[in-house]
Amino acid sequence: MTAGLGPIRNHRRSVLSAFRGGRIVRRAGHALAIVATLAAGAAITDRTPDADTQQHPFIRSATVGHAVDARTFDVTVLGVRGGAVLGGISGSHDTSGVWVLVRMKLDARTNPVSLGYAVLEDSDGRTYRATGRVDQSILGERSLEPGVPVIAEIAFEVPTALAQDMSLRLAVSPTDQRMDAVAQVRLPITAGQARQWHADKNPLTLAAISVPT
């Protein structure tokens, strides 16, 4: 009797092994799918721009004498001068570096707007805010009206050795320029000029805000 069951057992064994083999293949497929999904996720994450890139400001550049569109206002840098001492209502202010005064024309485009952010940036990305040691009402306080351009001068204090390496950056928000336009103008300052300014002790006077005629 046992001899007669031999082929049946062999058949069952082969079916069982085929079933087990299918299960292994299925499990391997599942594992492969998981690995492929993770790899695809990692590849997408790697290629997705980081938050810095996604939210970076839109830099609009121009040179001195040319208007640059900063979305809500236009700015044209008219000139730059410097010195070692800046005069103010409360007296003269010296500096360990050099004063850089940037003269510019500002023109709101469609709505009243205030200039909240004014820095000089060096080539290493360090930024130097417009000074708070003298009154600079063009920053934050004064509203620019569309169709009424104004000429203003903004004062900055920077290290003498880096003065020839500065770009002006202007924007509306004083704290957050993410995904907003930022006007940038490279300042034409030479190393010799910076040294000369550093040695010049004649107090500079910040020009009053005016309307161009």
Taking the alpha carbons of 106, 112, 116, 122 in that order, is the dihedral positive or negative?
negative
In angstroms, give the least distance from the CB of 163 to other proteins: 12
Q: Which residues, including other chains, have CB under 8 Å from residue 195's CB and lie 6 or more apart?
A: 160
Site for other proteins (CB under 8 A): which residue of 3, 124, 192, 213?
124
Should residue 94 be labelled a site residue for other proteins when binding is judged by CB under 8 A? Answer: yes
In angstroms, give the least distance from the CB of 143 to other proteins: 21
- H-type helices in the chain, by residue range? 2-47, 51-54, 191-199
Should residue 119 be labelled a site residue for other proteins when binding is judged by CB under 8 A? Answer: yes
183 three-state secondary structure: strand
Site for other proteins (CB under 8 A): which residue of 87, 159, 188, 203?
159
Cβ pair 24, 145 in contact under 8 A: no
Residues 3-32 that bind other proteins (CB under 8 A): none
Cα 203 vs. chain centroid, distance in angstroms?
A: 33
Rounded Cα distance, 47 and 112, in Å: 40
Residue closer to other proteins (CB basis): 103 or 126: 126
In angstroms, give the least distance from the CB of 65 to other proteins: 27
Should residue 137 be labelled a site residue for other proteins when binding is judged by CB under 8 A? Answer: no
With CA atoms as reference, report the closest residue to 170 among 109, 112, 127, 110.
Answer: 127
Should residue 141 be labelled a site residue for other proteins when binding is judged by CB under 8 A? Answer: no
Should residue 92 be labelled a site residue for other proteins when binding is judged by CB under 8 A? Answer: yes
Should residue 97 be labelled a site residue for other proteins when binding is judged by CB under 8 A? Answer: yes
Should residue 165 be labelled a site residue for other proteins when binding is judged by CB under 8 A? Answer: no
Should residue 125 be labelled a site residue for other proteins when binding is judged by CB under 8 A? Answer: yes
Rounded Cα distance, 23 and 137, in Å: 77
With CA atoms as reference, report the closest residue to 150 among 105, 96, 100.
Answer: 105
Rounded Cα distance, 100 and 80, in Å: 7
In angstroms, give the least distance from the CB of 180 to other proteins: 9
Should residue 172 be labelled a site residue for other proteins when binding is judged by CB under 8 A? Answer: no
Residue closer to other proteins (CB basis): 13 or 133: 133
Q: Where does this chain bind other proteins (CB under 8 A)?
A: 50-52, 55, 57, 90-97, 119, 124-129, 131-133, 157-159, 162, 175-178
